[in-house]
């Protein structure tokens, strides 16, 4: 393993373990999620100048007006999506730097990930390639549209705040599947959506703060 991946000092395994201890104290209980977050080096997904802060409980800029979410939010959303059992096929809306994508890939059979910003998608591809994660399919597309050709998905995670849940995404969710999406423009909250045979059940959860889910390509 390269020094860049294994880390030294503030990016070392010891620092990563402190993050896991903090996540447990914050209420994360899914051992599979905690184990994967312990394994994946978060510092390689941020700029080198910010690497020493990679395991702090805060969001960090990744360029192009986007951020990598704080570790607690990553863990919380992943835990809500997996609920103790690995999903088969996952759709991620908003690849970002690829950190959340890599975590989902370790916990599922296959991940389809959509990013509207091509330079960011290119960066995510490089990050994921360095970790040799092979079960991810990337697509440069508008997140509101999803990936219809890959549907249905057992789980869908949206990593930007929506003003409404795009109908296209709801239709791509399998019966029995779960979607986690930040909602709102001023005050934001996590919304958990479950699809049943009779329709969709929605539950409002934690207050959050995400960049907005935008339309179009760049």
Tabulate helix, strand, coil % of the chain (nearest 5).
40, 30, 35
Q: How far apart are CA 54 and CA 68, in angstroms?
A: 9
Which residue bears the tokens 């896991």? 20
| Total Cβ atoms within 10 A of residue 97 | 26
Q: Residue 199, by phi and psi: left (phi above 0), alpha (psi -120 to 50) or beta?
A: left
Closest CA to 112 of 135, 130, 79: 135
Active site residues per annotation: 69
DSSP string, 90-125: EEEE--TTSHHHHHHHHHSSEEEEEES-HHHHHHHH
């Amino acid at each position: 393993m390269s020094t860049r991946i294994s880390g030294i000092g503030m990016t070392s395994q010891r620092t990563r373990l402190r993050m896991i201890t903090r996540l447990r104290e914050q209420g994360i209980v899914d051992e599979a999620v905690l184990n994967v977050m312990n394994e994946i080096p978060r510092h390689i997904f941020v700029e080198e100048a910010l690497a020493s802060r990679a395991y702090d409980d805060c969001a960090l800029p990744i360029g192009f007006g986007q951020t990598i979410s704080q570790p607690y939010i990553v863990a919380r959303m992943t835990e809500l999506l997996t609920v103790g059992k690995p999903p088969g096929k996952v759709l991620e809306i908003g690849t970002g730097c690829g950190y959340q994508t890599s975590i989902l890939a370790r916990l599922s059979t296959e991940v389809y990930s959509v990013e509207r910003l091509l330079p960011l998608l290119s960066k995510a591809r490089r990050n994921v390639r360095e970790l040799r994660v092979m079960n991810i399919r990337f697509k440069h597309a508008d997140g509101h549209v999803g990936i219809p050709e890959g549907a249905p998905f057992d789980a869908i995670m949206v990593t930007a705040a929506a003003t409404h849940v795009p109908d296209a995404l709801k239709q791509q969710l399998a019966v029995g599947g779960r979607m986690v999406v930040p909602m709102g423009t001023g005050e934001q909250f996590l919304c958990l959506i479950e699809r049943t045979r009779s329709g969709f059940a929605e539950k409002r959860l934690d207050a959050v703060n995400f960049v907005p889910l935008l339309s179009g390509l760049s």
